[in-house]
Amino acid sequence: MTSPAADPWLSPWLPLLREHAADQPVLELGCGSGHDTATLLAAGLSVVAMDLSTEAVRQARDRAPGARFHVQDLRDPWPADATNLGGAVASLSLHYFPWHVTQQLVARIHHTLRPGGMLLCRLNSTDDHHFGASGHPAIEPHYYLVDGQPKHFFDRADIDHLFSSGWRTLSVRSPTIHRYAQPKQIWEIVLESET
């Protein structure tokens, strides 16, 4: 199994993210053990990070001590310091929810960003068959119970619909990443918040 450190997906976007952030903090949703957090800090960005796992946040604090961390569910009210943000990063963290909750989370991200703030988002693809996009009980369209864990998978129409209001799309692509034991097919979406 390769490491998350071998998945430098943020690197090409850091100069643009710094420009869009304009000295405002960046919110990281689902920071896990802090690999992306450390990358953001090393790029000179201020980071507010959240994750549901107490153990993951402990590891993230060790890896990226300059960030402000919160242990919480993304569906709960966000911290007071998550307002007027310059950017947000959500890497493979928005796929655990039913469609209507995912829409609410994207609307909340938009609301927390200042106009011109940037969102870098990665989502499971409906082509991600190694990690559950087929062969599992359906909860709703593209939303399956994968080994006891609900997971949402997205096609291009889902992406277009999810970010249809209040966003200017800068990039949409569907790469294969190699940070896990099997190749993983994802969507990588980069957007700018509009008023």
Cβ-based neighbours of 9, under 8 Å, separated by 6 or more:
91, 122, 177, 188
- Which CATH number do you get for residue 164? 3.40.50.150
pLDDT at 4: 55
pTM (2 decimals)? 0.94
Helices (H) and strands (E) in the chain, counts: 5, 11
pLDDT at 1: 43
- pLDDT, tens only, 30-59: 999 999 999 999 999 999 999 999 999 999
Query: Is residue 145 pLDDT above 80, yes or no?
Result: yes
- Is residue 112 within 8 A of residue 119, CB to CB? The reply is no
Sign of the Cα torsion 69, 70, 73, 75 reads negative
Residue with tokens 């549901």: 52
Report the chain's mean pLDDT, rounded to a whole number: 94
* The pLDDT of residue 6: 63
Query: Hey, what amino acid is at 189?
Result: I
Contact 170, 156 (CB under 8 A): no
Per the structure, how many domains does the chain have?
Answer: 1
Q: Tell me which residue range forms the domain holding 85.
A: 4-193
* Percent of the chain scoring above 70 in pLDDT: 97
